[in-house]
Amino acid sequence: MLETIRKTNKTCLTFKILRAGRKCDSQREVEPRFQYIFNNIKPTDAIVVGMFPKYSDQIQLNAASVRKILGEK
């Protein structure tokens, strides 16, 4: 699927990247998954991530991971 996303000229929204938690048992496993996805989509594409922040602030943790990967502060 990522190959198809890279080949199209259109901007794509990439979703289900964590596969309902199957690709990330812990937050430590989330960042490498984000890195893999960002390395394999176009700069104009975006990701859509589902979160369940009941036990941890996944929104803050995921945002920090993405900022780190993309080199933002």
Dump pLDDT digits (tens) for 40-67.
999 999 999 988 888 889 999 999 999 9
> Is 73's pLDDT higher than 60?
no
**CA neighbor of 5 nearest in space, from 50, 63, 46, 49:** 46
Angstrom distance (rounded) from CA 34 to CA 20: 14
Q: What does the pLDDT look like over 14-38, one tens digit per residue?
A: 998 887 666 677 788 899 999 999 9
Q: How many domains does the chain have?
A: 1
Q: Per the structure block, which two tokens stand in for 18?
A: 């964590």
**DSSP-derived secondary structure for 17-37:** TTGGGTT-SSHHHHHHHHHHH
40 or 72: which leads in pLDDT: 40
Its domain, for residue 44, covers: 2-70
Q: Per the structure block, which two tokens stand in for 44?
A: 């104009």
* 68 CB neighbour count, 10 Å cutoff: 13
